[in-house]
Amino acid sequence: MTGHRFRRAAGNLGFGLAVFALISPAILVFLWMLSLSLKNEVENMAYPPVFIPSPITFSNFIDVFRKNDFLTYGLNSVIVSFSATGIALLLGVPAGFGIAKSRATKAAALIMIARVTPGLSYLIPLFLIFQWLELTGTLTPLVITHVVITLPIVVWVMIGFFEGLPAELEEAALVDGATIWQAFRHVALPLARPGITVATILAFIFSWNNFIFGVVLAGRTTRTLPVAVYNVLTFEQVSWGPLAAAALLVTAPVLLLTLLMQKEIVAGLTAGGVKGG
């Protein structure tokens, strides 16, 4: 019994050390960004580096809002991310159900290819189309391009969840006279809520963090927050304090969303990994 407890404790310790080794770089980067944002430029340029601010200053955050229209950019990000996520869910959830129930493996593989294809591959054709339609500089092309990013994520996640649902429930609904749409709406959709939650969070995060489309397709008043961070950079010098403050402001919503919804994410991923009998 003692040997078993020792092996179990050693295994837990090893697992904890492995997790710490994986997340420690991200934690270190986040803490260093926080340190830069709370120091003045003299301390930020000091050598050797000063990690703990003395004194703490919030001037970098004030400068970000004073010198950059961060509130407008934040509203743009909210509009684009929520719109793209909503459209992706509206199209992707039924598509995932249809692909899962028809066993359309080729369509699933095509969606995966679309997901892993870099955005730069179709940036130029989309830019030319939007330029021809005179939509560049508005939020419309950003919403459309973000749907292109988020839709494959939603479909791929939902395929796994719908494949894991017991087929007997839908078959019973069809036997009772329900149409395939009614079976989807009243049987499959309520059971797939954990999957929809995961798909929603992932789609929102990918849309919120997207940078390349905002740089090329947005105008001066339609930029999103990741582009606003880029605007903090100047040709004369890199102001590390305002840059770190802007990066933290962009990261904060996604970080808070992930922390608040972590139980739903874990539950959803776990449910998606269990196949129905």
Closest Cα to residue 163, out of 252, 274, 79? 274
Please tell me which of 106-110, 163-167, 247-251 the model is most confident about, judged by mean pLDDT.
247-251
The answer, yes or no, to whether residue 183 has pLDDT greater than 60, is yes
CB 225 within 8 A of CB 74: yes
pLDDT at 80: 93
Q: Is the dihedral of CA 147, 149, 151, 153 positive or negative?
A: negative
- Tens-digit pLDDT profile for residues 37-48: 887 777 777 777
CB 202 within 8 A of CB 161: no
pLDDT at 275: 46
The average pLDDT across 87-94 equals 91
The average pLDDT across 21-47 equals 78
pLDDT at 86: 93
Q: DSSP letters of 168-227?
A: HHHHHHHHTT--HHHHIIIIIHHHTHHHHHHHHHHHHHHHHH--HHHHHH--TTS--HHH
Q: In whole angstroms, what is the distance from residue 172 CA to residue 177 CA?
A: 9
CB 68 within 8 A of CB 232: yes
If DSSP codes are grouped into helix, strand and coil, which group holds residue 165? Answer: coil
Q: In whole angstroms, what is the distance from residue 34 CA to residue 22 CA?
A: 20
The answer, yes or no, to whether residue 103 has pLDDT greater than 60, is yes
CB 81 within 8 A of CB 253: no
Closest Cα to residue 151, out of 191, 94, 215? 94
Q: In whole angstroms, what is the distance from residue 90 CA to residue 189 CA?
A: 12
The average pLDDT across 71-75 equals 86
The answer, yes or no, to whether residue 5 has pLDDT greater than 80, is no
Q: In whole angstroms, what is the distance from residue 119 CA to residue 121 CA?
A: 5
The answer, yes or no, to whether residue 277 has pLDDT greater than 50, is no
- Tens-digit pLDDT profile for residues 199-215: 888 899 889 888 888 88
Instruction: Tell me what percent of the residues of the chain surpass a pLDDT of 90.
Output: 6
Output the pTM of the full model: 0.79
CB 189 within 8 A of CB 199: no
Query: What's the topology of domain 66-272?
Result: MetI-like fold (1.10.3720)
